[in-house]
């Protein structure tokens, strides 16, 4: 009986924060739609809706993967935690701004026709790459129970090195998926101008990879040995 009561208390402890985290993620999808369609001045934009759908699927996949297995990590991904590196907070803030800029520029591009008409086949191919990028991130998320949004050593969760799944290929597979998504979405949306903020996001992601990797080498037990087994951070044979 006491065991059942403990389980009920644990569930009730997580319920409200989980609902708040789900609401925050849902609002993020709505923000994507607003930053796309408001600048575009129209709703009949198939690729815009396709991008909203990809974001929504990512949010759903994150919830389905994490909530049953690691609800505390899902809550952490939607809330602020102590121990986050100052440089990571700054980088994430700028990346967030570049994401909004990418959507706004693409919407304005659609409205004013800054980019010449892009072949539909190319846009569909880019949509596939964007979806695969988020699928690769989901694979990393499923393989790594410490897949936080922020860079911090999770001593409270007894963080350890993860070597399965995509982590057998590169040390930061989540960033690989993110970079693929960033570079594909402007083409998917038919906007060459949106590649400018997307490229900035990619540069910042590469910088973040370097800084996070250095942090893990210095502070996470066993990571140096893992780095010897998997020598490349993002691209096998290159870096």
Q: What would the two tokens of residue 230 be? A: 């998997």
Q: What would the two tokens of residue 157 be? A: 């969760």
Instruction: Compute how many other C-beta atoms are within 10 angstroms of the C-beta atom of residue 84.
Output: 15
Q: What is the pLDDT of residue 81?
A: 67
- Rounded CA separation 186/27 (Å): 22
DSSP 3-state assignment of 83? coil
User: What region, left, alpha or beta, does residue 41 occupy, with left being phi > 0 and alpha being psi -120 to 50 degrees?
Assistant: left
Whether 21 contacts 77, CB under 8 Å: yes
**Positive/negative CA dihedral, 65, 68, 73, 74:** positive
pTM over 0.85: yes
Q: What is the pLDDT of residue 184?
A: 98
Name, in order, each residue with C-beta under 8 angstroms of 129's C-beta and a sequence gap of 6 or more.
180, 181, 183, 184
User: What region, left, alpha or beta, does residue 160 occupy, with left being phi > 0 and alpha being psi -120 to 50 degrees?
Assistant: beta
Q: Report mean pLDDT in 10-residue bins for the chain, 239 residues.
A: 45 73 92 98 98 96 89 79 86 97 98 95 98 96 92 89 97 98 98 98 98 97 97 93
DSSP 165: G
Whether 147 contacts 172, CB under 8 Å: no
């Amino acid at each position: 009986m006491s065991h059942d009561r403990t389980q009920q208390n644990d569930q009730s402890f997580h319920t409200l924060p989980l609902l708040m985290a789900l609401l925050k993620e849902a609002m993020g999808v709505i923000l994507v739609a607003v930053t796309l369609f408001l600048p575009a001045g129209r709703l009949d934009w198939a690729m815009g809706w396709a991008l909203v759908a990809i974001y929504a699927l990512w949010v759903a996949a994150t919830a389905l993967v994490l909530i049953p297995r690691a609800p505390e990590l899902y809550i952490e991904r939607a809330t602020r935690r102590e121990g986050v590196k100052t440089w990571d907070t700054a980088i994430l803030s700028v990346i967030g701004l570049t994401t909004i800029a990418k959507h706004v520029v693409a919407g304005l591009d659609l409205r004013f026709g800054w980019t010449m008409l892009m072949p539909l086949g190319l846009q569909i191919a880019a949509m596939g790459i964007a979806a695969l990028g988020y699928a690769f991130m989901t694979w990393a998320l499923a393989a790594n129970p410490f897949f936080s949004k922020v860079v911090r050593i999770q001593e409270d969760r007894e963080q350890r090195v993860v070597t399965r799944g995509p982590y057998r290929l590169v040390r930061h597979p989540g960033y690989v998926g993110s970079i693929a998504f960033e570079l594909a979405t402007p083409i998917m949306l038919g906007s060459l101008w949106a590649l400018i903020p997307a490229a900035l996001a990619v540069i910042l992601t590469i910088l973040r990879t370097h800084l996070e990797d250095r942090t893990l080498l210095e502070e996470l037990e066993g990571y140096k040995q893992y780095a010897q087994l998997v020598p490349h951070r993002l691209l096998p044979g290159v870096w």
